[in-house]
């Protein structure tokens, strides 16, 4: 019977640890601070940012939500980033994506002080990660490593395959695994003989953004499956492809008109030794890791070990 890797329990453990570190810093008159910049009105982003702000309050961090209008220009946002870079009480700056099409997103992300880049997207932090030096690591990849470590799943010496090459997940999670002495292969939509490669994986990370892309015949029996994908199924045809006969999912689909599936076909999980469910897996780690990064940034900026 495969082991379900419980993202909720691991996220709560990380939050408890963060709260403890916040209390320790309070003894030094330091309160880590996060500024979240949310441009315009994107409902999913608004919910996500509200959850981040709520997590700050829960754990004792200072937070500020800055909401420029959708008409804001790149130059105006660059000025805002410069102001936040200079504010000592702000340790982390979060630019919520996606941004409006007229905003030069990469230019804005690059304008954030690397020491306050709690999303880990800045080229300086990417370079530090590649060099194996201390850095602020992207939250979702960092969460993947936490899940493996806290579940007692060995990384060193294992064959790891990452399906997906995004700057946000695929590349950094591959580098984190490599830095932990795994033998890493990065695959993507153009990889030839993909199933032949994924079947060699003892740790398989799926982050390609396609529902059920990894099928049972692509999985080595006994592998650990890490599903980073979050894909919404809105039609009966899509639902039946993955969950036909699943009474629990059927009830959820009837109630909400949609369900979530990851990048790994649910049938593939039965072949694994352990897996992250969707929902309930990697996604729940993202906010916890953001809180951890904010505290890490506060300590690094002040030279506190």
- The catalytic residues are 52, 96, 119
301 phi, psi to nearest 5 deg = -65, -25
Long-range contacts of 193-200 (CB under 8 A, 24+ apart): 194/163, 194/218, 197/161, 198/161, 198/163, 200/159, 200/161
Confirm if 115 and 191 have CB atoms less than 8 A apart.
no
Question: Of 245, 241, 240, 297, whose CA–CA distance to 61 is shortest?
Answer: 297
CB 302 within 8 A of CB 116: no
- The first and second tokens of residue 172, run together, are 């950094």
Cβ contacts of 47 within 8 Å, gap of 6 or more: none
Give the C-alpha separation, 25 to 89, whole Å: 13
């Amino acid at each position: 019977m495969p082991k379900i890797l419980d993202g909720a329990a691991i996220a709560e453990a990380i939050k408890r640890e963060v709260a403890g570190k916040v209390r320790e810093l309070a003894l030094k008159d330091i309160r880590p601070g996060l500024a979240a910049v949310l441009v315009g009105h994107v409902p999913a982003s608004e919910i996500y940012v509200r959850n981040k702000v709520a997590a700050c309050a829960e754990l004792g961090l200072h937070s500020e939500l800055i909401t420029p209008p959708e008409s804001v220009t790149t130059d105006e946002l660059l000025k805002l980033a410069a102001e936040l870079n200079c504010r000592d009480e702000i340790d982390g700056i979060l630019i919520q994506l996606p941004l409006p099409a007229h905003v030069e997103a990469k230019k804005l992300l690059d304008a954030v002080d690397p020491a306050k880049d709690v999303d880990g997207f800045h080229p300086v932090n990417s370079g530090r990660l590649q060099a194996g030096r201390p850095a602020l690591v992207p939250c979702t990849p960092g969460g993947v490593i936490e899940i493996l470590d806290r579940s007692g799943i060995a990384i060193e010496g294992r064959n790891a395959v990452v399906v997906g090459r995004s700057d946000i997940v695929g590349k950094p999670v591959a580098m984190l695994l490599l830095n932990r002495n795994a033998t890493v292969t990065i695959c993507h939509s153009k990889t030839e003989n993909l199933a032949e490669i994924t079947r060699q994986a003892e740790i398989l990370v799926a982050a390609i953004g396609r529902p059920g892309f990894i099928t049972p015949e692509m999985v080595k029996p006994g592998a650990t499956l890490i599903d980073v994908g979050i894909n919404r199924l809105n039609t009966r045809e899509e639902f039946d492809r993955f969950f036909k006969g699943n009474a629990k999912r059927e009830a959820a689909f009837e109630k909400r008109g949609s369900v979530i599936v990851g990048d790994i076909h649910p049938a593939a999980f039965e072949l694994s030794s352990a897996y992250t469910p969707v929902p309930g897996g990697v996604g729940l780690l993202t906010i916890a890791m953001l809180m951890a990064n904010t505290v890490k940034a506060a300590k690094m900026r002040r030279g506190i070990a």
